């Protein structure tokens, strides 16, 4: 056996061994709480850096009509199958009301017509799914900040939680209901709206009818659909599994700016 | 690459100090970061294995590279589409074995972190190592500028850029003839080109195209994503840059092996590289 062959064999062997060890190490690491908490450090660093560079008011890019996706892809729940939602749907959402409560001075309930009568904002923005795809759509809705000003946030309110009418997973602890949360910086951002129309048409069921959230500087899973109740809270730990959202409870970042 | 240490362990051999400590540390840190970034990146890619050009791109839009799994009778087949070309890549891309069972996945389990399908964990690994990679890169760039490493060791001289010189280097590389004498004191010109391309184009390109996939970053610097032609173009370029880096690493490791594995490895660990000044080249 010549030298080159042994060296080559050694290298191949070493590489295969190292990569196998490395990979199984990564699986074990992915499941260890210590590794998870170390890896999570990156999220805080990303959020702090982006917020520092963004400021409170920097806008997400707005596009023109020519940039609209021919078909806006749907994702997640496309047809909630619970009785409450189906009843709303059958009434063309005339029986639906949006509740705004929690740590607010004046809890309110608003019908779809009442929401549509309020000043609106229309924006053509890009929706970026965590999976990697993007779609550009034209959203019309009520600025969330305006509603929160009207309801009057109590001083201890720090997050706005969005409770949705769809159950995305059957979970014994009730945490299968979709929900999301944002902090006050995003809640009062001018592009943060509760949208009732996509591309000049009433929001379709598959896109979250009658109302969905748009937080344009974050990923798709933050854009909660089928809104039923908005709650101002001081802390996210008491809600479902405590990480501030359906996907956040399943390992995804709460700050989805990346 | 300036200090000569006259340790004549073998006749005719001397050691030169080739790689400074910042270069060696950042090199190995980069090896770790790039390995994790590549494998967790493929996990992320698997969540939507299609690449588009432009500002948007999803299932209804034309993809120019995609990996799909199709059912063929009672068997799964993996198809990779590149433009109009379709390749059957069953076993590796589109469908591969997981514990002996064919599984529907773009890149195989042995190329992703974690091995099983888990986008959120893949993202955690990716962004953690992305931060280390960026910080490491910034320190490397600052130290390279400050120590004049780039100008002294990587910038080709006018003479090296001459057609005749470049041709002779190409011939030498093709014949796997590498200098061991005075010529080995410096990087050769092709090597300088490759390193400059990686340091100043591909690695910054990875970071820039990666950042522009972030909706938050796009609100900070919309001009950057526009420069790449939109977010989906940036995502495609991110992938193509990664493939280019993989090709670089394959060639780089091959050259390390062929031009003296132990000597090269020693110099990237201890800094000292052996040359034989008596040799003609």
Looking at the fold, whether A12 and A138 belong to one and the same domain comes out as: no
B125 to A59: CB separation less than 8 angstroms, yes or no:
no
pLDDT of residue B203: 98
Looking at the fold, whether A19 and A134 belong to one and the same domain comes out as: no
Looking at the fold, whether A218 and A169 belong to one and the same domain comes out as: yes
Q: Which of A74, A129, A160, A141 is nearest to A247 (CA)?
A: A129
Give a yes or no: residue A215 inside a domain: yes
Looking at the fold, whether A237 and A157 belong to one and the same domain comes out as: yes
- CA gyration radius for chain A? 22
Domain tally, chain A? 2
pLDDT of residue B281: 57
Kindly report, residue by residue over B215-262, the tens digit of the pLDDT. 999 999 999 999 999 999 999 999 999 999 999 999 999 999 999 999
| Interchain CB contacts (distance < 8 Å): A and B | 141
Looking at the fold, whether A230 and A167 belong to one and the same domain comes out as: yes
Looking at the fold, whether A24 and A136 belong to one and the same domain comes out as: no
Q: Give chain B positions within 8 Å (CB) of A67.
A: 55-56
pLDDT of residue A11: 47
pLDDT of residue B183: 85
Q: What is the pLDDT of chain A when averaged over all its residues?
A: 92
A50 to B217: CB separation less than 8 angstroms, yes or no:
yes
- Give the rounded percent of residues in chain A with a pLDDT score beyond 70: 91
pLDDT-derived band at B270 (thresholds 50, 70, 90) equals: very high
Dihedral over alpha carbons B39, B40, B41, B47 (to 10 degrees): 120
pLDDT of residue A195: 98
pLDDT-derived band at A118 (thresholds 50, 70, 90) equals: very high
Provide mean pLDDT across the span A211-224.
Answer: 98
Give a yes or no: residue A117 inside a domain: yes
Kindly report, residue by residue over B124-152, the tens digit of the pLDDT. 999 999 999 999 999 999 999 999 999 99
**A8 pLDDT more than 90:** no
Mutate which of B43, B112, B117, B216 to disrupt the A interface (most A C-beta within 10 Å)?
B216
Looking at the fold, whether A9 and A115 belong to one and the same domain comes out as: no
pLDDT of residue A4: 45
Q: What structural domains does chain B harbor?
A: 4-60+107-275 (1.20.950.20), 61-106 (no CATH)
**A3 pLDDT more than 50:** no
Give a yes or no: residue A91 inside a domain: yes
pLDDT of residue A193: 98
Which residue from A27, A53, A134 is facing B115, i.e. has the nearest CB?
A27
Q: What is the pLDDT of chain B when averaged over all its residues?
A: 93
CA separation for the pair A224, A246 (Å, rounded): 10
**B98 pLDDT more than 90:** no
Domain with A213, as residue range(s), is: 62-250
Give a yes or no: residue A37 inside a domain: no
B222 touches chain A (CB under 8 A): yes
Kindly report, residue by residue over A174-190, the tens digit of the pLDDT. 789 999 999 999 999 99
Provide mean pLDDT across the span B31-56.
Answer: 98
A136 to B56: CB separation less than 8 angstroms, yes or no:
yes
CATH of the domain at A218: 3.90.420.10
Report CA B23 to chain centroid distance, whole Å.
Answer: 16
Looking at the fold, whether A18 and A108 belong to one and the same domain comes out as: no
Handedness of CA A242, A245, A248, A250 (dihedral sign): positive
The ipTM estimated for the assembled molecules is: 0.90
Give a yes or no: residue A218 inside a domain: yes
pLDDT-derived band at A5 (thresholds 50, 70, 90) equals: very low
**B87 pLDDT more than 90:** yes
Mutate which of A132, A250, A257 to disrupt the B interface (most B C-beta within 10 Å)?
A132
Kindly report, residue by residue over B101-126, the tens digit of the pLDDT. 899 999 999 999 999 999 999 999 99
Which residue from B52, B121, B257 is facing A30, i.e. has the nearest CB?
B121
Looking at the fold, whether A91 and A178 belong to one and the same domain comes out as: yes
**A61 pLDDT more than 80:** yes
Looking at the fold, whether A160 and A231 belong to one and the same domain comes out as: yes
**A235 pLDDT more than 70:** yes
In chain A, the residue whose alpha carbon lies closest to the alpha carbon of B32 is: A22
Provide mean pLDDT across the span A2-27.
Answer: 54
Q: Which residue's entry shows tokens 């004049």?
A: B148
Looking at the fold, whether A8 and A127 belong to one and the same domain comes out as: no
Give a yes or no: residue A213 inside a domain: yes
Give a yes or no: residue A159 inside a domain: yes
**B1 pLDDT more than 70:** no
Provide mean pLDDT across the span A134-147.
Answer: 98
Q: Give chain A positions within 8 Å (CB) of B127.
A: 42-43, 46, 258
Looking at the fold, whether A26 and A67 belong to one and the same domain comes out as: no
Q: Which of B207, B274, B261, B235 is nearest to B5 (CA)?
A: B274
Q: What is the pTM of this model?
A: 0.91
pLDDT of residue A1: 37
Provide mean pLDDT across the span B166-179.
Answer: 90
pLDDT-derived band at A10 (thresholds 50, 70, 90) equals: very low
Give a yes or no: residue A144 inside a domain: yes
Q: Which helix (H) or strand (E) holds A230?
A: strand A227-233
DSSP chain B: ---EE---SSTT-EEEE-S-HHHHHHHHHHHHHHHHHHHHHHHHHHTS-EE--SS-B-TTSPPSEEEEEEEETTEEEEEEEETTEEEE-TTTSEEEEETTEEEEESS-GGGSSSSS--HHHHHHHHHHHHHHHHHHHHHHHHHHHHTTHIIIIISPPTGGGSHHHHHHHHHHHHTT----SGGGGS--HHHHHHHHHIIIIIHHHHHHHHHTT-HHHHHH-HHHHHHTTSHHHHHHHHHHHHHHHHHHHHHHHHHHHHTTHHHHHHHHHTSEEEE-TTS--
């Amino acid at each position: 056996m010549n030298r080159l062959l042994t060296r080559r064999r050694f290298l191949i062997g070493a590489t295969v061994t190292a990569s196998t060890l490395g990979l199984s190490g990564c699986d074990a690491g992915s499941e260890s709480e210590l590794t998870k908490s170390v890896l999570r450090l990156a999220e805080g660093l990303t959020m702090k850096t982006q917020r520092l560079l963004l400021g409170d008011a920097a806008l997400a890019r707005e596009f023109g009509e020519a940039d609209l996706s021919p078909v806006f892809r749907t994702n997640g729940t496309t047809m909630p199958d619970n009785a409450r939602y189906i009843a709303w749907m059958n009434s063309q959402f005339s029986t639906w009301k949006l509740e705004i409560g929690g740590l607010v001075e004046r809890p309110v309930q608003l019908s779809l017509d009442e929401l549509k009568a309020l000043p609106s904002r229309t924006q053509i923005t890009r929706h970026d799914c965590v999976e990697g795809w993007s779609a550009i759509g034209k959203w019309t809705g009520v600025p969330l900040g305006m509603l929160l000003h009207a309801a009057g946030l109590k001083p201890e309110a720090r997050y706005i939680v969005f409770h949705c009418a769809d159950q995305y997973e059957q979970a014994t602890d009730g945490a299968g209901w979709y929900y999301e949360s944002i902090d006050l910086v995003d809640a009062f951002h001018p592009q943060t709206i509760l949208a009732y129309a996509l591309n000049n048409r009433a929001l379709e069921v598959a896109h979250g009818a009658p109302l969905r959230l748009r937080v344009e500087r974050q990923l798709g899973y933050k854009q909660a659909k089928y809104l039923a109740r908005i709650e101002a809270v001081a802390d996210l730990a008491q809600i479902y599994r405590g990480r501030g959202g359906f996907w956040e409870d399943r390992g995804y970042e709460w700050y989805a700016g990346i | 690459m300036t200090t000569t240490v006259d340790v004549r362990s073998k006749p005719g051999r001397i050691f030169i100090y080739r790689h400074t400590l910042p270069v060696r540390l950042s090199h190995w840190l980069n090896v770790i970061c790039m390995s994790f970034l590549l494998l967790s990146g493929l996990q992320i890619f698997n969540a939507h294995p299609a690449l588009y050009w432009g500002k948007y791109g999803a299932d209804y839009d034309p993809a120019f590279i995609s990996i799909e799994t199709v059912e063929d009778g009672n068997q799964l087949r993996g198809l990779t589409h590149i433009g109009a070309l379709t390749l059957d890549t069953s076993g590796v891309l589109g469908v591969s074995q997981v514990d002996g069972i064919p599984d529907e996945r773009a890149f195989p389990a042995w190329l992703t972190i974690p091995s099983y399908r888990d986008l959120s964990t893949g993202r955690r690994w990716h962004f953690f190592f992305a931060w280390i990679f960026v910080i490491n890169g910034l320190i490397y760039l600052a130290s390279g500028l400050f120590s004049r490493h780039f100008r002294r060791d990587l910038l080709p001289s006018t003479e090296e850029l001459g057609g005749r010189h470049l041709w002779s280097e190409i011939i030498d590389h093709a014949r796997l003839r590498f200098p061991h004498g005075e010529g080995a004191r410096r990087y050769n010109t092709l090597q300088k080109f490759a390193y400059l391309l990686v340091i100043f184009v591909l690695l910054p390109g990875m970071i820039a195209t990666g950042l522009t996939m972030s909706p938050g970053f796009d609100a900070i610097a919309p001009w950057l994503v526009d420069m790449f032609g939109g977010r989906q173009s940036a995502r495609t370029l991110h992938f193509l840059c990664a493939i280019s880096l993989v090709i670089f690493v394959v060639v780089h490791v091959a050259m390390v092996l062929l031009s003296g594995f132990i000597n090269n490895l020693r110099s990237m660990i201890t800094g000292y590289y052996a040359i034989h000044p008596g040799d003609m080249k």
